[in-house]
Amino acid sequence: MSATIIDGRQIAAQMREEIKAETEKLIREHGVTPGLVTILVGENPASVSYVTAKQKASKELGFYSVQDSRPADISEADLLALVDGYNKDPRIHGILVQLPLPKHIDENKVLYAMDPDKDVDGFHPVNVGRLMIGEAKFLPCTPAGIQQLLIRSGTAIEGAEVVVVGRSNIVGKPIANILLQKKEGANATVTVCHTRTRDIASHTRRADILIVAAGFPNAVTGDMVKKGAVVIDVGVNRVGEKPSSTVPGKMVPILKGDVDFDAVRERASAITPVPGGVGPMTITMLMFNTLKSAKGAAGVD
Ligand code: GUN
């Protein structure tokens, strides 16, 4: 058996069409344009490229988009004041502070300073707590994207054995929580494996849905997967460089997920590729959250 590919680019494109149509409706009927600010501190190349992609998506959807770039030596107090200004700005419905921040700034202090009702990343502890009790306002973007990939690929989630490999605050813990909720597109039995789990393979082999966010290549090999499982690979590992196919003379990274794709593909019923699986969904869910926040501000549900 060779698994069906769950095409994140296609599902993301479909969702962006839906978000665009809803944005036009919100502007037309309520005069509210979703507003997103992305705050970038310093010039970390990966952060610059993520923020650029977020801005591009936001503009394509017709959002009011602000890119606020600050030097790496901005003081913590100045950054906190900047966030507070956007908390109070009625044109802004979503605030995203690109992480990581320079070492002299306490990331938690900055995240906590954000109005939870504008925290479209879903990282503020109020939003983490809301998710835990089934009252989520904004789901964190990567796990929310994983849930959409499962729903939109027709995967049966209710009652399924889900095994998550990795317990990070931005992927492992929230996806476990999302799929555990007594809600549509959830209601699964969830196991979370981590670096101190005694026999990871004994857990992964039970999974109907296996979600891998371990942080290194080949964390899951073919023998660790049940026949017919649905496998979501959240990993993005740079394993080398190759010449760009579009820009002559430019080198681009070669990316690999956390799953041994070729071997696992022969056992799974469906699998996400890297790139082109979870990645395109993350920015899409950021746009979804910003639209949701703007709808809330306009009193629309
Ligand atoms: N850095 C890497 N991923 C993310 C993300 O999803 N949100 C923010 N704010 N920073 C990041």
Q: pLDDT averaged over consecutive 10-residue blocks of the chain (301 residues)? A: 95 98 98 98 94 97 98 98 98 98 97 98 97 97 98 98 98 98 98 98 98 98 98 96 94 95 98 97 98 97 76
CB distance 121 to ligand 1 below 6 Å: yes
**Residue spans in the chain of domains classed CATH 3.40.50.720:** 141-281
Please name the amino acid found at residue 262: D
As assigned by CATH, the class of the 141-281 domain is: alpha beta
pLDDT score for 213: 98
pLDDT score for 301: 76
pLDDT score for 64: 98
pLDDT score for 52: 96
Handedness of CA 166, 169, 170, 173 (dihedral sign): positive
Pocket test for ligand 1, best of 49, 50, 97 (most atoms within 8 A of CB): 50
Q: Which of 22, 271, 23 is nearest to 149 (CA)?
A: 271
115 catalytic? Reply is no
Question: b/e map of 184-218 (b: 16 or more CB within 10 Å)?
Answer: ebbebebbbbeeeeeebeebbbebbbbbbbbbebb
Which ligand 1 atom is nearest residue 170's CA?
A: 6
Task: Output the DSSP codes for 157-224.
Answer: -TT-EEEEE---TTTHHHHHHHHHSSSTT---EEEEE-TT-S-HHHHHTT-SEEEE--SSTTSB-GGG
54 catalytic? Reply is yes
As assigned by CATH, the class of the 30-116 domain is: alpha beta
* Residue 118: DSSP 8-state: G
From the CA of 236, how far away is ligand 1's center (Å)? Answer: 13
pLDDT score for 142: 98
**Considering 55, 118, 119, 121, which one is annotated as catalytic?**
121
From the CA of 256, how far away is ligand 1's center (Å)? Answer: 19
From the CA of 269, how far away is ligand 1's center (Å)? Answer: 30
From the CA of 98, how far away is ligand 1's center (Å)? Answer: 5
pLDDT score for 56: 97
199 catalytic? Reply is no
Closest residue (by CA) to atom 2 of ligand 1? 99
> Would you state the torsion angle of the CA atoms of residues 10, 11, 17, 23, taken in this order, to the nearest 10 degrees?
-150
Closest residue (by CA) to atom 9 of ligand 1? 98
Q: pTM for the complete prediction?
A: 0.96
**Residue spans in the chain of domains classed CATH 3.40.50.10860:** 30-116
The Cα 287–Cα 281 span in angstroms is 10
CB distance 98 to ligand 1 below 6 Å: yes
